[in-house]
Structure 1
Amino acid sequence: MTTLFVRHAVSDYEAWRKVYDTFSAIQKANGVTAEAVYQATDNPNDVTVTHEFATQEAAQAFTRLEELRKAMQSGGVVGTPTVWFTQKV
């Protein structure tokens, strides 16, 4: 199992969350088996998202989706996200 971590700033968490929640069907259709959203305790607009996948290839393919790029843009993601992958051992 591979977990994709994405940390980014958003301009308005509530607006971002609405877009994120509508993206659920696309997540599932592209291999996301579980997901979670975290906020920094001192800044609600500092968001970290995790998505689990069966393989690293599926996780990497997800990060290249044009739909994902558009959703992040319309959700108000600010700057370049920090992205990393982990394997459960």
Structure 2
Amino acid sequence: MVYLLAIGKVKDYSKWKPMFDEFANSRKEYGSKGGRLFRIADKPNELAILYEWESIEKARKFAQSEDLKKYFERAGVIGKPEFYYLEEVEQLSA
């Protein structure tokens, strides 16, 4: 499985979240298989999103897309999030 880790900031989480949800179909079209959304515990406008993706190529295409850039502008994303492309090495136990 391939993962895309996105780390960034938004102006206002409560305004950003509905727009993030509306963008789900676009992510799916680029090959997203879903993921997990995290907020920094004491900084609720700082986010980390771990997506599962069909391939690294599709994840890169999504991260570099004009669709995503336009979404960032509309949704109140601050600056450019950092993207990391990850390949699972192993699952760890407690």
Does the alignment reach a TM-score above 0.5?
Answer: yes
Structure 1 residue ranges without an equivalent (≥5): none
RMSD: 1.0
Higher CA-based Rg: 2
Task: State the Cα distance separating 1:27 from its structure 2 match.
Answer: 1.0
Task: State the Cα distance separating 1:81 from its structure 2 match.
Answer: 1.2
Q: Give CA deviations for 1:53-78 in whole Å, capped at 9, x if unaligned.
A: 12111111111111111111111111
Q: Which residue of structure 1 aligns with residue 9 of structure 2?
A: 9
TM-score norm. by structure 1 comes to 0.93
What is the number of residues matched between the two proteins?
89
Q: Which residue of structure 2 aligns with residue 82 of structure 1?
A: 82
- Runs of 4+ displaced beyond 2 Å: none
Structure 2 residue ranges without an equivalent (≥5): 90-94
Q: Percent identity?
A: 28
Q: Which residue of structure 2 aligns with residue 64 of structure 1?
A: 64
TM-score norm. by structure 2 comes to 0.88
